Amino acid sequence: MQNILKKSFFILEKYKHRLPLMFLLFLTVSLIDVIGIGMIGPFVALLAHQGKIVDDYSIFLYLIGDADNETVIAFVGILLVTIFCAKGFIAFFVQKKILSLGYEIRTSIVNKLVNSYQEMRYEDIANKDISSMIVNANTHVGLFVDSLFVPALRMSIECIVVIGIFILMAYTNIILVLFISLLLGIVLLVYFKLIKVRLYRYGRVMSEKESDVIEEIKHIMGAFREIRLLGVEEFFRNEIKRDVIEFGKAGVITRSLHLVSRYLVEATLVIFIVIIVMYMLANSETVESIYSLLGVFAVGALRLVPSFSAIGLGIANIRTADFALNSLYNELTVINKKSEKKSPEKINDSKFSRLQLRNISYSYKSDKNRTILKKINLHLSQGDFIAISGKSGSGKSTLMDIMTGMLLPTEGELLINNKIVSHNSKKTMKWWQNKCAYIPQDVFLINSTIKSNIALGIRVADIDENRLELAINGANLTETLIQNNMTIDSHVGVGGSKLSGGQRQRVALARALYAGREIIFMDEATSALDKETEEEVMNHLESLKGQITIVFITHSSAAIKNCDQVIQIVDGQLYT
């Protein structure tokens, strides 16, 4: 439990300083709850009182004067109702505060994780399990908040209530309180000892199977054509079905184990009340004393059932969420270490004029013995139109990733405007990447309008219409839109399904121009186009020469003829 607390406080960060105020609110609710329960016993005893109440209990004479028994009972009843109504109102407010804080914490953690993922190096993100990242940012954060943080706060309220009720009972009969405490302690200790390991194990199974389902769905959506034409839909359906069944089995077991504590507490408390009644009857106790004791113990026991149930359920939920807690803790530990190394830097805003690769070599971390690029030296200037050609796997895309700063070379240096650019300098790297645009063969388009795809990442209300028009004209997109009866407010469909390959490339080009990028990297951008469309795109790109710098990876001889310089990569070496 100490380890869970340590990790939880680490994840909560600044929010842990708000916990004392929450506990003060919990204490207020719990005290009102205990006072209300404490008044039920005397109220029941008053109903069976034989003499005149104000004569035997002078406090009522002081509070309401010389009143008859009915008036006193009505007064106490109204006071009791007022206390419970006030408790209900305050409890609702506190529970709402707990939920609000929980969702605020969830938003903060998700934002931190997503921000960290976006700042990762390209090679690291390429080697990371995307499904696990999704589960971490969504499911595990949800489990931490809903199954650990919120239940822990509610447990705090219930623990204070339980302590208050036990003190109240002890004031009535301390021997019985010690007996019920021992009885409940033994029952719950055995229960949690038996289920502790199982809850952690099945919590891990649920997280892993959810990650597997996400991965399979990604396969189905990403390779829709291949799967359909190969006729292997059933295989993927069965894989998902198997994972969902395993998830369901683990879920049924964990949820069932969560419920057991309530039934154990109910049974234990009923046995306890029956034993009390039988014991008092056997000892010929007066009816008034039996009513008074039962008023406290029976009502207290009824209130203890939901309290112990909430505590038991909370502990079970925490144990189930322990795997998610460990996963989040490990991820955020790495993130915090990286954040400590950061320092704010002012970004340079000078224009791009020259790119130089000096003795660049590269080997992937997964295969350091294989050198993809060997001692590459290259320079290009603003306005150049350069083609990179070579066989598949020769390192063309790797070279482009190094030029854009996505990959860090194993050896050598990337220089922009005669200044070294590396991941050690966030300032220069950010400045350089703000100059670059990347257009792949499969252009990324969101399921929105052409306008929103061109001004990607900008709210519609904030889009600069003049700048947008210049970008559309610069990409030669206007004529294409007219020919297809489309406007900039037309939706492109999922993945740009309503646009042709050439239209998608023009939208991507317009996006780069709208963003004011000075150098465009195109990776096999025209390889999926027919010859006529490819020629149109290349002719338009040629018209941009001198205005922007273009680096173009291609196998096409038709595309190469438009370039100022053609670079060949053979066996990891560069030839011009």
pTM of the model: 0.66
**Calpha distance 22→104 (Å, rounded):** 14
The pLDDT of residue 344: 45
Give the sheet arrangement for strand 519-523, strand by strand.
436-439, 519-523, 549-553, 385-390, 565-570, 573-575
Q: Which of 50, 489, 61 is nearest to 286 (CA)?
A: 50
pLDDT tens across 143-183, in order? Answer: 888 878 888 887 877 788 788 778 877 777 788 778 877 88
CB 423 within 8 A of CB 430: no
**Calpha distance 227→225 (Å, rounded):** 6
**Calpha distance 500→484 (Å, rounded):** 10
pLDDT tens across 533-553, in order? Answer: 677 777 777 777 778 888 888
Bigger pLDDT: 466 vs 94: 466
What tokens does 537 get? 């795109």
Determine the distance from the C-alpha atom of residue 221 to the mean position of all C-alpha atoms in its chain, rounded to a whole number. Answer: 22
**Calpha distance 397→407 (Å, rounded):** 10
CB 466 within 8 A of CB 532: no
pLDDT tens across 420-437, in order? Answer: 887 677 777 888 888 888
The pLDDT of residue 529: 63
Q: What is the mean pLDDT of residues 62-83?
A: 84
Q: Which of 308, 291, 302 is nearest to 36 (CA)?
A: 302
∠ CA 416-402-433, nearest 5°, is: 55
Residue spans of alpha helices (H) in 410-500 = 426-433, 450-454, 465-474, 478-483
CB 449 within 8 A of CB 490: yes
